[in-house]
Structure 1
């Protein structure tokens, strides 16, 4: 290990502690070549041969610049792959246990505030997104109270922090609904209210 690597806090592992097939891959690296370390197909680290020319360890990222999404819900490998593919090349979707603590987004099913607080401490910089999702084709079922309300006939669910914010959201929701149903909205009949005396 060079002084430059020591200055960057690189940790050491003696090659004799590694499996023989891994040592063979490392020994086969030529200067400037790298070995990508993966977990379940997702890159987690990059190993470069010593003496690599012009490697700037401050600027060379270990993984391409992507948004890392950690999932704190039971998803099969195929479901995570489908989500990652639908998001596109700028995203990588990893299981909670495989994701780094520096993940950008944490997808959480409806949970208790205590669980969300605990997950927040594991991923302090992540944007925590609570989601309810049903995908029978991929065997995913994470329903919650909002989904049950919508299934029962509610048209929208607004989570507002203030009355002015509620007014803004409501106006947007109603206006968008009118735009989407322009020309298809049936005439409404407003009946007088019946008051008991």
Structure 2
């Protein structure tokens, strides 16, 4: 059984060598289809082919959970494959239009609040993560206001939900800067309202 809206093709219509490759896939393995060396699609087994029990939706139990990342930024096949490879086998990275509405993460470039709201409605279960990225080698450029401010000379960017939290974050940043100046740790430029620890008041 295929999920609602999914396209399918009967295995009898595929070349025998392709069927052999699919049949040879083990648990957690996949077959990457390429065009001119660039990844085009990925095929993985949905079951063990033996009639194993399936859930109510018709899917065989997975060997391990996979985190589905939907990208709302335009990425080439090689850029998406690079991101997927860097994340590892526990993730699958799909274009916004190919991802299921049950995606776990939605990666978006700096956008308007209205667009973020629309994307949130399309992927209600996803963690919406805004990312600014510039990778000249892969032809990816999504520069936003935070990156521009940091490049202009700002040393940090704090997002706080209250003045007391801002004070704790600021103290954390200043303390960390002093440690860095003394030669310890690594620099981090951006703090979210949840990343800085709650320091004693």
TM-score of the pair, normalised by structure 1: 0.69
1:81 counterpart residue number: 81
Cα distance change of structure 1 residues 72 and 44 upon mapping to structure 2, 3 Å threshold: farther
Instruction: Determine the structure 2 residue equivalent to 1:165.
Output: 165
Mapped contact 2:46–2:60 kept (Cα < 8 A) = no
Alignment: residue pair count: 165
Contact 1:84–1:92 (8 Å) recurs in 2: yes
What runs of 5+ residues in structure 2 fail to find an aligned partner? 24-29, 34-39, 185-201
RMSD (Å), alpha carbons: 3.5
Give unmatched runs, 5+ long, in structure 1: 30-35, 185-197
Query: Is 2:68 the counterpart of 1:68?
Result: yes
TM-score, normalised with respect to structure 2 = 0.68
Instruction: Look at both structures and tell me which one has the larger radius of gyration over its CA atoms.
Output: 1
Change (3 A) 1:157 1:10: closer
> Equivalent residue for 1:192?
none
How far does the alpha carbon of each residue in 1:27-64 deviate from its partner, in whole angstroms, 9 at most, with x for none? x97xxxxxx79883334772665xx25x1212833584
Shift of 1:85: 1.7
Does residue 57 (structure 1) correspond to residue 57 (structure 2)? The answer is no
Pick one of 21, 24, 34 that aligns with 2:13.
Answer: 21
Q: CA deviation at 1:106?
A: 0.4
Task: Say if 2:139 is the partner of 1:130.
Answer: no
